[in-house]
Every structure is written in structure tokens, then in C-alpha cells.
Amino acid sequence: MNNPNPVVTIFGQVTPPPGMDVGGSDPVAGVAKIIGFGINLFIVIAGIFMLVYLLWGAFDWITSSGEKEKITKAQNKLTNALVGMIIIFAVLVIFNVLAGQMLGIVKTNPDGSWSIGIPTLK
């Protein structure tokens, strides 16, 4: 094959691996999927950190041996974990209401994931 493009001749054609074609030929859809994946990843990581901090506070309370100072620190950890959970939940609800229902940017897919439609000029 005689390809007139020397870059393709030297390096070959670059294509994404099978199943990893994020946006197809539309780069805006690809960016939107990456942003949606990032939001879902944030939710999972925040939930894991909240759970670990909650269990850490419970473990500190159990091992406090009745000392007031250790019990107070454990209660503060539990309180902070629960407040963090409430804040994450509130941020997600506000984001969903503003971006999803008012602006129509975020759409929920049938599999439960989010897709974000980035506004573009036509």
C-alpha cells in the first residue's frame, strides 16, 4: 500500500482499543462522557472515605476504655463523617436539580449512569 501521508506510513493509524471508543467521532460526546464518569467516580470515592472515617470513629469509640477525651474525639469523627455525607448528598441533589432538570444538561441513562450534554454552537 502506498499511503501519501508520511506520518501514517511511519507511525501507522491510531485507533482506540475495542470497547474504549468514548465518544465515537463526536469529541463533545466524548468529553461529556468523561465528565460524567468523573462525577460518578467522585461519588464513589467520597462514599468510601465517608465510610472509612465513620468506621474509624466507631472503632475509636469502642477502644476508648471510657476516657472522656477519647470518646469526645470519636464522637467528633462520627459527627464529621455524617455531616460530610449530608453535604455530599446535598451537593448531588442541587447539581441534579440545576444541571439536570432546570438546564437539561445532565441526563440519566437507563443503566443508572449520567451523561452530560455540553452546549455547543451550531
Q: What DSSP assignment string belongs to 7-50?
A: HHHHH----PPTT--SSTT-HHHHHHHHHHHHHHHHHHHHHHHH
d(CA 41, CA 44): 5
pTM (2 d.p.): 0.59
d(CA 19, CA 60): 45
105 within 8 A of 117, measured Cβ to Cβ: yes
Whether the predicted pLDDT of 20 surpasses 60:
no
Work out the mean pLDDT of the chain and round it to a whole number.
78
Residue range 52-87, pLDDT digits in tens: 999 999 999 999 988 999 999 999 999 999 998 898
What average pLDDT does range 10-17 have in this prediction? 69
Q: What is the domain partition of the chain in residue ranges?
A: 28-108
Look at residue 122 in the predicted model and tell me its pLDDT.
65
